[in-house]
A and B are shown apart, each in its own frame.
Chain A
Amino acid sequence: GQQVMQIPQYQHVQEGEDFTTYCNSSTTLSNIQWYKQRPGGHPVFLIQLVKSGEVKKQKRLTFQFGEAKKNSSLHITATQTTDVGTYFCAGGFRGSNYKLTFGKGTLLTVNP
């Protein structure tokens, strides 16, 4: 079936360090979405990328969609303790845009 691989599984950083998580699909994606889940909470939508090579920014977060639309990344600059949580990517495949396949997520912990 269609899979979205996400790495790393865990990342521990010191506050102020940068953080990046990566997603990869073996087949072309029609779109990719990113979510954040705080410990004990539910996933919260962050952003959607649709275009090849697209880059979007939200304050300290930068999201990229690869030229081939098979990979994506989320980069956080100068992490803060409020960034703690699990970050998921979710890919939509052609013909099933709304039937998203989630990566397994990257758990980010931040040491103050």
Chain B
Amino acid sequence: NAGVTQTPKFQVLKTGQSMTLQCAQDMNHEYMSWYRQDPGMGLRLIHYSVGAGITDQGEVPNGYNVSRSTTEDFPLRLLSAAPSQTSVYFCASLDFGGYTFGSGTRLTVV
């Protein structure tokens, strides 16, 4: 039981490049979320999903896309990376208790 797995752990992108941050969970949780964490800003919700085929926007969705074709996977796509997207990204899934977070992806956009 691996919990929530995020890849890659680190990534450097050039402005304008696109990429996908991967997230997978093996706990059969319906609810999954993507958060970004910036110094002094806490965790801000980007997108979330309440089940396969259902996604919705969070607090800071601009510049990001998500899809949920299976219960297990919830990838986050950066369409055209900008320096403002430099951050640590956490994927999380939720059961009746609290969130289980992945170990994060540290993204730098230059």
Residues of chain A whose beta carbon lies under 8 Å from any beta carbon of chain B = 1, 6, 9, 33, 35, 41-48, 88, 90, 98-105
List of B residues within 8 angstroms of A90 by Cβ: 43, 99
B interface list, Cβ under 8 A from A:
31, 33, 35, 40-45, 48, 50, 58-59, 90, 92, 94, 97-104
Q: Which residues of A contact B92 (CB under 8 A)?
A: 43
Closest CB of chain A to B35's CB: distance in Å? 8
Query: Is A104 touching B94 in the complex (CB atoms < 8 A)?
Result: no
Q: Which residues of B contact A105 (CB under 8 A)?
A: 42
> 6 tightest A-B contacts by CB?
A45-B98, A104-B42, A102-B43, A42-B101, A98-B31, A102-B42
Residue in chain A with minimal CB distance to B98:
A45
Smallest Cβ-Cβ distance to A102: which chain B residue: B43
B56 to chain A, nearest CB (A): 8
- The contact of B45 among A43, A88, A99, A103, by CB within 8 Å, is A99
Q: Is the CB of A88 within 8 A of B43?
A: yes
Name the B residues within 8 Å of A48 (CB-CB): 97-98
Chief secondary structure at chain B's binding surface:
strand
User: For the complex, what is the distance from the CA of A45 to the CA of B99, rounded to whole Å?
Assistant: 6
Closest Cβ of chain B to A5, distance in Å, is 11
- List the A side residues contacting B58 at CB < 8 Å: 99
Contact of A100 among B90, B99, B100 (CB under 8 A): B99
Interfacial chain A residues near B33, Cβ < 8 Å? 99-100
Residues of A within 8 A of B42 (CB): 6, 88, 102-105
Q: B41, B44, B97, B102: which contacts A42 (Cβ < 8 A)?
A: B102
List residues of chain B with CB within 8 A of the CB of A43.
43, 90, 92, 99, 101
CB distance from B3 to the nearest CB of A (A): 10
CA distance A90 to B35 in the complex (A): 13
- Chain B residue, CB-CB nearest to A86: B42
CB nearest to B99 among chain A residues: A45
28 A-B pairs whose Cβ atoms sit less than 8 Å apart in the complex: A1-B59, A6-B42, A9-B40, A33-B98, A33-B99, A35-B98, A35-B99, A41-B103, A42-B90, A42-B101, A42-B102, A43-B90, A44-B101, A48-B97, A88-B42, A90-B43, A90-B99, A98-B31, A98-B50, A99-B45, A99-B48, A99-B58, A101-B45, A102-B43, A102-B44, A103-B42, A104-B41, A105-B42
